[in-house]
């Protein structure tokens, strides 16, 4: 007895269904592969052609004082950002050593001191920022530190600007330069404004030898910020990210918007990969560092709270003779886990864009 054959139309329908399902599965698979943040922005290509020399800080053109106003009761200035995101931070695999990053938790902070001197902005041409911004600069560092024993390596900070656009890149490598054991790149990009740096995007990418790289991205979207978790939170005016904060400090002191004086504090909102806080630095005092450029006067700033509960903190030394750029950074998890970045050589800088960009050389 012969088995009846299925109708031809039914066979064609089944084949078409299989093809459709196969195409859909492939599309979903490709979607999974392409998920994740978009690629990191390309680095600005700017020629750094000369070694930076020690100079006197540029003279500040202070705005004339406003006419006296009747005193009024000052409103409360206690500022507090939204707390940490509901989602817990991703656990660090046991095989991957914790890698310090320049962040630390500050739950609250006292009122920010008023600016004592406001630098008048120079007229801009074709959207160019004024001369108060440092020229594009690369600072190279020697890395030492400790993680279950002494570690060494290298690091560099690149501050790049073209017109009103800027980028900051902090690249750190633990181990030999030709085969580092751990690398981390922290990149910020955005625009320069009359109120300082306005980040638009922040990326951090970490690679441990024999493992895949991990990347987290933060996007500044006007009145909101999208964290690496994908959640959106209100963004505070003047917020900085982990990389831009150091150049923002440079700008604040270079223009006289904040006063370098032992005991004073500087604060601003800081957006991390998965949460945001009010960040506050204390001006510890003036210190002299031994560098390849000779003894270098610098101002030491540190967070107002010591790291606790796994939080990380960065101390920074800014040199007035090098346009208040960071000549030393110590990124600390605890007393036994830290990296210390010390200036390795004279910074490299782009050529001046105009005569106004040339600071006065220190008298010998």
Is the pLDDT at 82 greater than 50? The verdict is no
Are the CB atoms for 281 and 112 separated by under 8 Å?
no
Domain boundaries, the chain: 106-111+134-351
Q: What is the pLDDT of residues 218-265, one digit of tens each?
A: 999 999 999 998 999 999 999 999 999 999 999 999 999 999 999 999
0.85 exceeded by pTM = no
CATH number of the 106-111+134-351 domain? 2.50.20
Element (H, E) at 19: helix 8-34
Q: Please list, residue by residue across 254-272, b when 16 or more beta carbons sit within 10 angstroms of its beta carbon and e when fewer do.
A: bbbbbebeeeebbbbbbbb
Are the CB atoms for 189 and 220 separated by under 8 Å?
no
- E-assigned strand segments in 121-164: 137-146, 150-162
Q: What is the pLDDT of residues 47-59, one digit of tens each?
A: 999 999 888 765 5
Phi/psi for 253 (5° steps) reads -80, -35
User: What's the rounded Cα separation, in Å, for the pair 265 and 210?
Assistant: 42
Helices (H), 153-284: 244-254
Handedness of CA 117, 118, 122, 125 (dihedral sign): positive
Q: What is the pLDDT of residues 152-208, one digit of tens each?
A: 999 999 999 999 999 999 999 999 988 899 999 999 999 999 999 999 999 999 999
User: What's the rounded Cα separation, in Å, for the pair 48 and 211?
Assistant: 34
Are the CB atoms for 141 and 155 separated by under 8 Å?
yes
Are the CB atoms for 115 and 315 separated by under 8 Å?
no
Is the pLDDT at 81 greater than 80? The verdict is no
């Amino acid at each position: 007895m012969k088995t009846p054959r299925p109708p031809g139309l039914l066979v064609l329908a089944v084949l078409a269904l299989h093809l459709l399902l196969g195409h859909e599965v492939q599309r979903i698979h490709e979607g999974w592969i392409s998920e994740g943040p978009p690629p990191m922005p390309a680095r600005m290509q700017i020629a750094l052609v000369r070694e930076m020399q020690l100079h006197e800080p540029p003279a500040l053109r202070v705005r004339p004082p406003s006419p006296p106003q009747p005193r009024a009761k000052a409103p409360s200035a206690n500022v507090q950002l939204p707390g940490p995101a509901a989602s817990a931070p991703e656990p660090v695999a046991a095989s991957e050593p914790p890698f310090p990053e320049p962040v630390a938790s500050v739950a609250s902070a006292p009122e920010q001191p008023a600016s004592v001197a406001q630098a008048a902005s120079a007229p801009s041409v074709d959207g160019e920022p004024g001369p108060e911004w440092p020229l594009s600069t690369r600072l190279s560092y020697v890395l030492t530190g400790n993680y279950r024993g002494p570690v060494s390596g290298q690091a560099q900070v690149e501050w790049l600007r073209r017109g009103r656009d800027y980028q900051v890149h902090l690249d750190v490598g633990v181990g030999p330069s030709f085969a580092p054991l751990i690398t981390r790149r922290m990149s910020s990009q955005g625009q320069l404004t009359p109120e300082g740096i306005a980040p638009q995007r922040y990326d951090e990418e970490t690679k441990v030898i024999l493992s895949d790289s991990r990347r987290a991205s933060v996007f500044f979207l006007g009145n909101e910020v999208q964290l690496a978790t994908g959640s959106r939170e209100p963004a505070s005016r003047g917020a900085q990210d982990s990389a831009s904060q150091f150049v923002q400090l440079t700008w604040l002191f270079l223009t006289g918007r904040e006063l370098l004086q032992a005991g004073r504090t500087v604060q601003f909102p800081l957006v991390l990969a998965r949460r945001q806080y009010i960040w506050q630095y204390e001006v510890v005092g003036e210190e002299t560092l031994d560098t390849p450029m000779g003894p270098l006067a610098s101002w030491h700033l540190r967070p107002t709270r010591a790291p606790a509960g796994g939080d990380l903190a960065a101390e920074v030394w800014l040199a007035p003779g090098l346009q208040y750029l960071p000549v030393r950074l110590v990124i600390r998890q605890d007393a036994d886990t830290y990296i210390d970045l010390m200036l390795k050589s004279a910074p490299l800088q782009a050529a001046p864009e105009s005569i106004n960009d040339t600071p006065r050389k220190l008298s010998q």
